[in-house]
Structure 1
Amino acid sequence: MESITDAVKKMEGYDQLRRQLDRIKQQILQDPYVASFMEANPGINEVNLEKGLTKLYEYSKERHNCDNCPGLERCPNLMQGYQPVLTADKDQIEIFYEKCFLKKQDEKQKSMTALIKSYFIPRDILQASFDRLHSIDQDRKEAIGSAAEFVKKVAAGEECKGLYFYGKFGVGKTYLLGAIANRLAERQISSLLVHTPEFLREMKNSLSDGSFNEKMELLKTVPVLMLDDIGAENMTNWVRDEIIGVILQYRMMERLPTLYTSNYDFSLLEEHFSYSQKGGLEEAKGKRIMERIRHLTVPVFIGGDKNFRSLQ
């Protein structure tokens, strides 16, 4: 009885099909990537080569897609963000996929972003980096150095004081907090960066939606808390005594670092915290809050005559 293979060979057009397949085979084998693989694996015989021809074709096509990469979002490969790798397992051709550089970078960025929680912070601040700060003028170098040293100590597991950045509007205080948050995330340390005035308004609203305790717990326990623009909030006894005071007391007891930015120096901030809705001043309560801040932070003045945004 005639075999199927022999029967196929006698079919009309078989010779033409065979010639086309041979041309495709030669094109695949002449591909530099495939040729390099075959040269490195001389044990692959003709039978295994025929069996693995479709894998070689797939590899060639996908590998050249990577050479002409249009970006992760437009990746044309079968598995977006993955590049092909050929192996010869017992001289049989196999193909598998591994994450490309762009895919790894994207996942790393998403992982870092997940480590940085924020409330009411502009997008450009959440993308801040120390690399862009090295070119900033001399007046800001001390602050940048203090920030870098803080990250170094926290990453090393050392106990260290937080930082209190103060100076006039527009000198780059908030951007510096963003750079710290991103550098900490690179070292797998989570942080929370909040715009204090807006967040405190949110805390008042959270009393009605049931999320107050959850938010308080987050601010109290996050490994690194950053309170941006403290002193710009509308001061009330409730904000001072039940929110800021409680958070700072807990963090002081647990020795969790807290960073601040403010337009006020310590003396002016103490006056702000001494405000009383009932009229007059409650100096003892203002001093109590400031004692917690002074005890666990180092004041760092950020100078500069030019607006930070004009220096970027």
Structure 2
Amino acid sequence: MKNVGEEIKRILPDRFLERKAALIKRIKDHPEVLRLLAEYPDQVDVERDLSNLGNHISCFDHCQSCPGLNACQNEFPGHSSHEEVSEKQSMLIFRLKKCPKLLAFEKQTSNQKKIKSHHIPAHITAATFEDLENDPLRRLAIAECINFCAGYQKGVTRKGLYLYGPMGVGKSRVVGAIANEMAGMGEEVIMVYVPEFLEEIKESFSTNDVHSKLAALMEVDILILDDIGAGQSSSWTRDGVLSPVLNMRMETKPTIFTSNLTLSELSNYFVTARDSKNQMDRRQHEINAARIMERIEPFVKALHVGGRNRRREG
């Protein structure tokens, strides 16, 4: 009868045992396996767990040199390998869990579903505070926006924000970051580009849809009115659209504005509103402008946003 050991050697692939010994040594010397051996000396047996450890460190190495979620090299993209102790078997088992990049992507996707934007470009609604260029001329404004998000409590009266400054400095992206942050906290956000939304409201008369659109702005947790004061002001949009929406929100729900105008200039903008029927004299326009400013100015913190024109300079 042949020696069993000799028979095993004969049927094994060439240099199998030598290659296996080299693999065991490489795995034993891997920094991640050294960590596991140090933390779980009674649960790790490299020869017994060779296959599982090999898969674990392969996943570990890919994560250490991560090229980004879109180019993830793991078998299940966006997942990393984590050890757990199996009490029954007194050994380690390895489970795949979503990595921070995948979780961040899913959070971003979820946030986008909560933000009901109207006429707002995707790069604005996708903005995050981490993405914003932190230049000195808008650093204070960004910090105040972060503080607003951190201190927000549903149902607790809190001042909104009024971000003003020249065109192209990135005001819309800053409030886009607020929208994403608040949506990530579970709050519903509507972000409206005011000039185009007001045109949409006019067109909605033919479908009797005006009330539902305005009710949505009145009731949403966080309302962002982007570029208020742009375009020609009319007494109808001032008194029939913006004023009632803000009147319903000012005591309970914060509103965030961006504008190229200071609050004083915004007041004058409302005074010079076009009155299609010429029913109001200047004094009446001044009264109505003061009325809507009373729904804005006491309920916001004004923040100047400066810096370079990002549209022109890239």
**Equivalent runs, 1:24-63 vs 2, <5 Å:** 24=20, 26-31=22-27, 32=30, 33-34=32-33, 36-38=35-37, 40-43=39-42, 49-50=47-48, 52-63=49-60
1:64 is aligned to: 61
List alignment gaps of at least 5 residues for structure 2: none
Give, in angstroms, the shift of residue 208 of structure 1.
Answer: 5.6
Q: What are the Cα deviations for residues 188-229 of structure 1, in whole angstroms up to 9, with x where unaligned?
A: 544322210112223344556676555333311222212112
CA contact (8 A) 1:171 1:302 kept: no
User: 1:83 corresponds to which letter in structure 2?
Assistant: S
1:309: Cα distance to partner? Answer: 5.4
Q: Using the alignment, how far apart are the partners of 1:207 and 1:28 within structure 2?
A: 75
Residue 293 (str. 1) matches residue 296 (str. 2):
yes
Which region of structure 1 is more displaced relative to structure 2, 283-292 or 77-86? Answer: 283-292
Alpha-carbon distance change, 288 to 103 in structure 1, aligned in 2, over 3 angstroms: same
Deviation at residue 305 of structure 1 after TM alignment = 8.7
Structure that is richer in helix per residue: 1
Of 237, 240, 246, the residue aligned with 1:239 is: 237
Do residues 270 (structure 1) and 270 (structure 2) align? Answer: yes
1:157 offset after TM fit, Å? 7.1
Distance apart, 1:297 and its partner CA: 3.2
**Comparing 178-187 with 224-233, which one deviates more in the overlay?**
178-187
Aligned-pair distance for 1:85?
A: 2.5
How far apart are residue 45 of structure 1 and its match?
Answer: 9.0
Spell out, residue by residue over 1:242-285, the C-alpha distance to the aligned partner (whole angstroms, 9 max, x if none).
43233112213x52111222334243132144x31112535254
- Secondary structure (helix, strand or coil) at the match of 1:292 reads coil
Q: For 1:45 and 1:71, how far apart are their aligned partners in 2?
A: 31
Aligned length: 298
Range with bigger deviation, 262-271 or 281-290: 281-290
Equivalence map 1:185-200=2 (5 Å): 185=183, 187-200=185-198
**Aligned 1:96-175 pairs, distance under 5 A:** 96-126=95-125, 127=127, 129=129, 132=132, 134-137=134-137, 143-144=141-142, 147-154=145-152, 158-175=156-173
Q: In 2, are the aligned partners of 1:196 and 1:233 still within 8 Å (CA)?
A: no
**Partners of 2:229 and 2:266 within 8 A in 1:** no
Following the alignment from structure 2 to structure 1, what is the Cα–Cα distance between the partners of residues 305 and 93? 62
CA deviation map 1:115-150 (0-9, x unaligned): 44422223443325388464233xx56655654554
Distance in 2 of aligned mates of 1:88 and 1:199: 57
**1:20 paired residue among 5, 16, 20:** 16
Aligned-residue CA RMSD (Å): 4.0
Structure 2 CA distance for aligned equivalents of residues 35 and 70 of structure 1: 25
- The change in CA–CA distance for 1:148 and 1:154 in structure 2 (over 3 A counts) is same
Residue matched to 2:76: 79
Superposed, which structure 2 residues align to 1:250-265 within 5 Å? 250-252=248-250, 254-264=251-261, 265=265
Deviation string for 1:42-73 (max 9, x for gaps)? 54698x954x4432332233223223323212
% identical equivalent positions? 31
* Whole-angstrom distance in 1 between the partners of 2:270 and 2:70: 51
